[in-house]
Structure 1
Amino acid sequence: MRALYISFIALMFCPLLAVASASQITAKVDLVVVNKSESRLSVMRDGKVIKSYLIAMGDVPSGHKLKEGDQRTPQGRYILDYKKSDSAFYKSIHISYPNEEDKLRADALGIRAGGMIMIHGENPRSSLPPKEAQKYNWTNGCIAVTNKEMDELWKMIDAGTPIEIWP
């Protein structure tokens, strides 16, 4: 009888746990962290990782983005300043690169810093399945996730959320 009672209680609370987990994933985050050496994007709230995603970056992922066309993803602290629902790569969230430091560096070197760095979905021209495409760096310096993951991020991230991009 006791085993039956425990089973009944477990069945009653399992749906509640599933709802809690789903709502945790779609709750707003207060920081996005990209670890380039691990090819990972993590969304955080109150100092805790809510979820982590495998990412694709530019063809030259090592080092900080210096100039337009160098195929690098910038490093540093930026703001996710706006969302673009009609992106060429599904949806996208813009990263505020270049910041003032990036602009000063580019000016001092006599080069263009570049811009339009985004977190975005899949390449619609890719013949690879989404999870397979994530194993390769194929962007021009952006941060790519699958379209399904982009839908999750879209719900969790508001314009104005900070992003830290680590080496």
Structure 2
Amino acid sequence: MFAYTKLMARIGAGSPPPDAPLEQQADLIRVYKAERRMILLKGDTPISTYRISLGQAADEGPKQREGDEKTPEGRYEIDWRNPKSMAHLSLHISYPGSDDRRNADAGGFPPGGNIMIHGLPNGWGLFGNAHQLWDWTDGCIAVTNSEMRDIWARVPNHTPIDIMP
């Protein structure tokens, strides 16, 4: 199965969906780590809600350094997207910010990076909602593949994301 996963990671997950109509696009993402919930908002109105999986050490506070398996906390933005990622589509979160870099430098370690919102690893889509039974990422925010297609279509680049404890 490992070889299959590596192969699927190389070839990506196919074509991303088209953008949703402007009135269906989010202008803010809000993540509630403790509740394992992510909400897309347009103004103050929720337009979609998703159950999520986080980093394996997500309950131990915000991300502080590379390899700590924590999901960051704070205000970031979606700054680029990867249609050919090792998971079904991915949106990059702008971690580390300047405060994150400063805190990591003060501790003498690298802050880490490549924090994404993504679907399941390529080739593992059949697990669907079962992935929500535990936190399994290295600090990312994971959803099902069908949810990731919806998020991809509704979240333009530069959309702010608030990740709360």
TM band (smaller chain): 0.7 to 0.9
Q: Please, which runs of 5 or more residues in structure 1 have no aligned partner?
A: 1-22
Please give the residue correspondences for 1:24-103 in structure 2 after superposition, counting only pairs within 5 Å: 27-62=24-59, 63-103=61-101
Q: TM-score, normalised by structure 2?
A: 0.83
Letter in 1 for 2:118: H
Give the secondary-structure state (helix, strand or coil) at the position aligned to 1:86.
coil
- 1:44 deviation in Å? 0.2
User: Can you list the C-alpha shifts for 1:33-83, whole angstroms capped at 9, x where unaligned?
Assistant: 000000001000011111110001111112000000000000000011111
- Per-residue deviation at 1:136? 1.3
Shift of 1:135: 1.9
CA distance in 2, matches of 1:128, 1:69: 28
CA contact (8 A) 1:27 1:155 kept: no
Q: CA 1:128–1:154 in 2, change beyond 3 Å: closer, same or farther?
A: closer
Q: Which amino acid aligns with 1:34?
A: V
Structure 1 residue 124, shift from structure 2 partner:
3.1
Partner-residue secondary structure (3-state), 1:137: coil
Task: Give the Å deviation of 1:126.
Answer: 4.4
Q: Would you say how many aligned residue pairs link Structure 1 and Structure 2?
A: 145
- TM-superposed CA distance for 1:133, in Å, is 1.2
Residues of 1 paired with 2:123 and 2:47: CA distance?
31
Paired amino acid for 2:30: V
Structure 1 position 129, deviation (Å): 1.9
Aligned CA RMSD, in angstroms, stands at 1.8
Contact preservation (8 Å) 1:66, 1:102: yes
Matches within 5 A, 1:1-167: 27-62=24-59, 63-124=61-122, 126=124, 129-167=127-165
Q: Please identify, of 129-138 and 106-115, the stretch whose mean Cα deviation from structure 2 is larger.
A: 129-138
Residues 113-161 of structure 1 show CA distances to partners (whole Å, capped at 9, x for unaligned) of 0000000001236496211112211100000000100000011000000
Matched-pair contact (CA < 8 Å) for 2:125–2:145: no
Matches of 1:138 and 1:127 in 2, distance apart? 15
Separation (CA, whole Å) in 1 of partners of 2:82 and 2:126: 24
Q: Is the 8 A contact 2:52 2:142 kept in 1?
A: yes
Structure 1 Cα separation of the partners of residues 49 and 40 of structure 2 = 6
